[in-house]
Amino acid sequence: MSETLVDEAYTDAFGNPRVIPSEVRAGVVAAMGPQEEDLPFVAIVRPGAELPAAGELVLEDGSDLGRADRMPTDAPHGYHRLMRDDGIEQLLVTGPGRCHLPAGLRAWGWAIQLAATRSAASWGIGDLADLRQLGDWSSASGAGFLAVGPLGAPNPGPRPEPSPYYPSTRRFGNPVHIRIEEVEGAERAGPELEELSRAGRVLNGQRLIDRSRVAALKLRALERIWDCTRPSPAFDAWRAERGVALERWSTFAVLTERLGAGWHSWPEPFRDPGGPAVARAAAEHADRVGFHAWVQWCFDRQLADASVSIMRIADMPVGVDPGGFDAWDWQAQLAMNVSIGAPPDRFNAAGQDWALPPFVPQRLRNAAYRPFIETIHAQLRHAGGLRIDHVLGLFRLWWVPAGMDPSRGAYVRSQTDELLEIVALESHRAGAVVIGEDLGTVSSGVRNELRLRRLLSTRLALFERVSPARYPVQSFAGVTTHDLPTVAGIWGGADLDDQRAAGLDPDPDALALLRSRLARAAGIGTDASLADVVVPLHARIAASPAMLVAATLEDALRVEERPNIPGTVAPARQNWSLALPVPIEELGDLGDLRTVVEALRR
């Protein structure tokens, strides 16, 4: 079954047919591991529809409906179980088939990277109290949402991974975003916490975010509070509710502290998350496991508070760190000898290798999609929307075998109908809109399926050849993203200098093309000043038919540096580590930003 999901050819970004070399295809198939039997572990069944086989039907809430051959017409949406007469236990996904999408939805908001969005009270990095404050100000200004970059936790350790798109887990939060002073029990931590707080605020004096220092200070502060605080009944109840996944994450964090980052290098007994060595370690270090669970409780409470005054749109990365928690926990469903990426296109002539392991479609399906369901569910926690990065991955993914160039990969098709059915079900349960990041080379068939499933498509001025007035209604529109140049970086050419400083050989013609697209979208000439492009550009996008329109604070503040330059690494380029030039409490006093707010109001 798995082998049949590997495409033998594809059409590249330039319209040329490409045949996958046999050795590449063989490498992809080998990475999938032993072929698993194609058993009917999952089926999509609507209320009132015939079941795939006769058997005992048990609803998600535990209601035993006895023998059945049809789904009841009044069956609730959910994940039900069919104990078939042939002995197979089958997951039945019963849902609406289309995502939640309120009629008449029309709003504007900010797209932000939380790390860069600091206040005077921050400890060198934007935190969840800053997010709450920004949400309050944005809502009062007429905004309807904040689209927030990924908040997943990196591997614990002294050097946290800076990229939010390379998380250890997509199910639990990054502790560096906790506002320490608002943690329950912080008032009992004494003078040591005051010293740590002062040291943290000193870090606001530099634009470059020192994650290692921030993480060390906040870890010590949280340890101090934990030492002088008895866990509350509310925490105990929350911990019990989060179940096995939380306990495994907390145990993984302890093992990482003791054995180092990257579970592949651990002694063999600790590589099995369900093995006796891991269970013994959890018991021996029960207090430390409890500490890491409590840290997640602190994060979750603050995230809930930050998501009250305005709709928060979460951002789900396309994959996870192969040495991180999700990969350790779900190693049986992942292919570890390949990574996902993208074939060559106009923006990346050599192709891309994102160093993220993909799920093997058949193994994921045979696991009744539990990893995917848990991930979507966790991402939607306290959120009113979800952006799915590289939504094409729900249709197919570019697999690059280990040791091969990114151009030497192959597309592996996903079980699209079942994945989209799960997304739609979770969307309705959360009452959340879903946005598909469908930039780049995407077939019309993919976009049509997203439209039918009521996912919003993404439209950016930097990618579009048409006027914003022609953007589709069912879309999420903006100017740029974290991986693309800012308006100021394009208009003055500073992005070229930034790329050169990072060791790249940038193409001035490519930047000129982006400049012309911005000018066309803004309805101005390419010789206009920066001051004359920012406001009309955002005004025209805000006037577009798109349901949701987002601006970045970098563009509103005329920041020249983008958050990330793909293909570059530290120390040549400190990606994801440059804070905004002003603290968020000063945003309302800035005339340039107020003019953008006025332009965005719809």
Q: What is the pLDDT, as a whole number, of residue 1?
A: 58
Long-range contacts of 465-472 (CB under 8 A, 24+ apart): 465/517, 467/520, 467/521, 467/540, 468/521, 468/540, 468/541, 468/543, 468/544, 468/546, 469/540, 469/543, 469/544, 469/545, 471/541, 471/544, 471/545, 471/546, 472/545, 472/546
Split the chain (602 residues) into runs of 10 and give each run's mean pLDDT: 85 92 96 84 95 96 96 97 94 97 97 98 99 98 98 96 98 99 95 97 98 98 95 96 98 98 97 98 98 99 98 99 98 97 84 96 96 99 98 97 96 97 98 96 90 98 96 98 97 96 92 95 95 97 98 98 93 96 96 96 92
Cβ pair 203, 197 in contact under 8 A: no
Q: Which of 29, 30, 24 is nearest to 408 (CA)?
A: 24
Query: pTM, whole model, 2 decimals?
Result: 0.97
Question: What are the domain boundaries of the chain?
Answer: 1-33+330-443, 47-94, 107-304
Residue 509 Cα distances to 181, 196, 514, angstroms: 49, 49, 9
The letter for the amino acid at 65 is L
Q: Which of 375, 230, 213, 214 is nearest to 291 (CA)?
A: 230
Report the b/e string of 395-412 with b at 16+ CB within 10 A.
bbbbbbbeebebbbbbbb
Tokens encoding 143: 């905004």
The span from the CA of 566 to the CA of 164, in Å, is 13
Q: What is the pLDDT, as a whole number, of residue 578?
A: 98
Kind and range of the H or E run holding 377: helix 370-379
Q: Which sign does the torsion angle of CA 424, 429, 434, 436 carry?
A: negative
CATH topology of domain 107-304: TIM Barrel (3.20.20)
Helix, strand, coil share (%) of the chain residues, nearest 5: 40, 15, 40
Q: Which sign does the torsion angle of CA 232, 234, 238, 244 carry?
A: positive
81 CB-side CA count, 13 A? 11
The span from the CA of 493 to the CA of 332, in Å, is 47
Q: What is the pLDDT, as a whole number, of residue 23?
A: 96
Residues 6+ positions from 127 with CB-CB distance below 8 Å: 114, 176, 177, 178, 179, 302
DSSP letters for 66-129 = EEEEE--TTPPSEEEEEEETTS-EEEEEE--SS----TT--EEEEEE-GGG---TTSSSS--HH
How many helical (H) and strand (E) elements, i.e. helices and strands, does the chain have?
Answer: 18, 19
Q: Which sign does the torsion angle of CA 233, 237, 239, 240 carry?
A: positive
DSSP conformational letter for 154: -
What strands, in cross-sheet order, belong to the sheet with 42-44?
A: 42-44, 89-94, 78-84, 50-58, 64-70
DSSP letters for 443-488 = -HHHHHHHHHTTPBEEEETTT-SS-GGGS-SSEEEES--TTS--HH
Tokens encoding 282: 């959890």
Q: What is the pLDDT, as a whole number, of residue 253?
A: 99
The span from the CA of 181 to the CA of 122, in Å, is 10
317 CB-side CA count, 13 A? 26
Q: What is the pLDDT, as a whole number, of residue 567?
A: 86
Q: What is the pLDDT, as a whole number, of residue 50?
A: 96
Instruction: Tell me the angle at which helices 531-542 and 591-600 cross, rounded to the nearest 10 degrees.
Output: 30
SS3 51: strand
Instruction: Tell me the angle at which helices 233-259 and 276-284 cross, rounded to the nearest 10 degrees.
Output: 120
Instruction: Tell me the angle at which helices 286-306 and 211-227 cross, rounded to the nearest 10 degrees.
Output: 110
Q: What is the pLDDT, as a whole number, of residue 78?
A: 98
